[in-house]
Structure 1
């Protein structure tokens, strides 16, 4: 049996390998992600609005490149080269954070990391779609997000262990060691891409037939709703700042973050699998409702059970909205434009997610974190109703 035909855990070998790569890369990313908010405010001494703006900018910038490189990978019918380059840029930039001493060099390296994500994401998602059986895109994307997020579970746990081992070092020194060590799993992921993942782009028909899905009113309407929803998608950093506001330590915050990622990881695959059998539109709609509920819980959390429930619902929401829209767009896209269409989704989302963190950061500084979370809840309730009423299956 060839690698093209091989199946493992009910999915193609290529999808399995790309899931493994995402596990390793996200382990690398999430080793540093939970300590970044504290590193910004306590080590680099950056204020709330600027911190929120940096986190939003970091999360937004990668998406600006996704439609470009999705389109380029469609034109050249090459996915793997962009996936490899993207992971390489991110791995180098994360390790180099160990040498930052100001918000400017920190931002520069994080921007490089996000550029790497922008280069790889749409080509990788197109490769996942091309490596999936017809009608099972949700299952493939669900598995990929599960593996990605299991890495996000492992990363904070590794960070907790490293902080314990480095407890006799000044905190800023310990953080720098963690940044440097984060490059190890990222490098392993690059090796898997280079030597094991097989490109599928050349199998795409050279002759373009039919009308682009971008001309569809339904798809354009969906992208408008995605833009609005992104305005209510605050950075994960605000959930950790909420835990800190309630008196929990950095290590305890890492524990909350690991719980969130565990919920995300173990929800993504069954949600993706189930979406192939029912309505992807319906699941996306429910996801916005869950987002509103999570934001309300964060807004009013004062006890440990309530805060834990907020992280649980936040994990389910992210599992839905990071998985199903990709599969939904892949299903709508014509064979010749999967990279472009998926890239368009990521780009629209990325442009509008940046202001979200600035807005919540401003509301936090001028009023309170509670007001910021309430703002996000209202945005998600609006998008839930718009999705239910306007978008077709």
Structure 2
């Protein structure tokens, strides 16, 4: 596939294909994820504290694997083979979930799926960064995630229809969910090719080196001050992001939402997630990352407020919709800023490190959410998320450089090995 030149043209075809693969794999994953907590609690009798620990641990492991795969992809200077390994593991997890009869089986399936997801994520994001021009970087990440989230939206609908069709038979629904995952793997294997060139942060097309790049601890130290400041914000922000499956359980316990309609929670926030990702990416390329990122964090706080104060499903659903908006904004801004700040030779390492930092925050959010809900009720997790979100907002406003929109030249990339940054503004 051809990569986009540095002039303002269409988003590269590779980004579209990767987005379609994400669309299908997410459709499969969301069906299972939206029902996993309910299945464990109502069918297998698993305590909510153990569910929260499982979700937090699975997400943390996924993020750890993202660091590993990012570093390895920089070492081999290849992204696609590692993506194939990750997607294969994610696919294998689906039949295991469909045949599960106890907590251990579900634990194995969830961890295998999260490991696979972690392995493919950093090389995937680095590949998008490799082929996307600096002037379209946030838009490219936004498009990829919009397509991926459209799959999550379709997965929510598929989960609802499958639960209705099978009369709430969880195992049959999990088998149905395996089909899109297999199609996604075939598309990735046949149509996503390793690029021969990539685009650096100066907007130039650089031929991909064939030699392996040594793994050096110095690479982590040379990522720069702006990058590590951003990682502090990532840690705080992700600590506010409890597992979305707890929304499903809360609506079931507190508002009497029937099991058949439980996947509709995922449908609502994936709808706004999908529709907000690409437009906000375009706005970030035009007006700067910080402005859009601050708006996304405000959306998190407002969402938590709506869900915490809701006395019925309508206001709770409003909170869920706004939750989707912050999902569509902030992650794309984080990854875009990471790509802006670092040299193209260490994109995989930088993105993987970002995911590792996010892993710590996710574990805190998952395990903490389970503990808080056990001690004070599920409703309390929305209030605790609101407080942590406000802290993240304050730190973000104070520490992230405002910068200027990229005009098509320098984007503030680091000079690898020097630990210094150019004077050009970044978003």
* TM-score, normalization by structure 1: 0.93
Deviations 1:142-195 (A, max 9, x none): 00110111001111211221122212xxx4xx2111212222111111111111
The question of whether the paired residues in 2 share the 8 Å contact of 1:96 and 1:179 is answered with no
1:108 shift after superposition:
1.4
1:58 shift after superposition:
1.7
Cross-structure match for 2:30: 30
1:29 shift after superposition:
0.5
Give the Cα–Cα distance (whole angstroms) in 2 for the partners of residues 281 and 5 of structure 1: 26
1:211 shift after superposition:
7.7
Cross-structure match for 2:280: 271
Q: For 1:277, what is the secondary structure of its paired residue?
A: helix
1:231 shift after superposition:
1.2
Does residue 1:330 correspond to 2:339, yes or no?
yes
Unaligned runs of 5+ in 2: 198-206, 404-427
Cross-structure match for 1:287: 296
- Structure 1 residues 251 and 212 mapped into 2: Cα distance closer, same or farther (>3 Å)? same
Aligned-pair Cα RMSD in Å = 2.0
Deviations 1:321-340 (A, max 9, x none): 22211111111120101111
1:291 shift after superposition:
0.8
Cross-structure match for 2:361: 352
Q: For 1:11, what is the secondary structure of its paired residue?
A: coil
Alignment of 1:1-393 (within 5 A): 3-4=2-3, 10-167=10-167, 171=168, 174-200=169-195, 203-205=207-209, 214-244=222-252, 245-392=254-401, 393=403
Segments of 4+ moved more than 6 angstroms = 210-213
1:85 shift after superposition:
0.8
Give the Cα–Cα distance (whole angstroms) in 2 for the partners of residues 238 and 366 of structure 1: 15
1:283 shift after superposition:
1.7
Give the Cα–Cα distance (whole angstroms) in 1 for the partners of residues 45 and 312 of structure 2: 29
- Structure 1 residues 225 and 134 mapped into 2: Cα distance closer, same or farther (>3 Å)? closer
**Higher helix proportion (structure 1 or 2):** 1
Q: For 2:287, what is the secondary structure of its paired residue?
A: coil
- Structure 1 residues 201 and 217 mapped into 2: Cα distance closer, same or farther (>3 Å)? farther
Give the Cα–Cα distance (whole angstroms) in 1 for the partners of residues 70 and 195 of structure 2: 14
1:103 shift after superposition:
1.1
Give the Cα–Cα distance (whole angstroms) in 2 for the partners of residues 286 and 148 of structure 1: 22
Give the Cα–Cα distance (whole angstroms) in 1 for the partners of residues 305 and 228 of structure 2: 29
Aligned length: 385
The question of whether the paired residues in 1 share the 8 Å contact of 2:70 and 2:352 is answered with yes
Give the Cα–Cα distance (whole angstroms) in 2 for the partners of residues 264 and 159 of structure 1: 18
Give the Cα–Cα distance (whole angstroms) in 2 for the partners of residues 334 and 11 of structure 1: 21
Give the Cα–Cα distance (whole angstroms) in 1 for the partners of residues 91 and 173 of structure 2: 13
The question of whether the paired residues in 2 share the 8 Å contact of 1:234 and 1:360 is answered with yes
Q: For 1:323, what is the secondary structure of its paired residue?
A: helix
Q: For 2:241, what is the secondary structure of its paired residue?
A: coil
Give the Cα–Cα distance (whole angstroms) in 1 for the partners of residues 269 and 389 of structure 2: 19
- Structure 1 residues 225 and 43 mapped into 2: Cα distance closer, same or farther (>3 Å)? same
Give the Cα–Cα distance (whole angstroms) in 1 for the partners of residues 390 and 129 of structure 2: 30
Unaligned runs of 5+ in 1: none
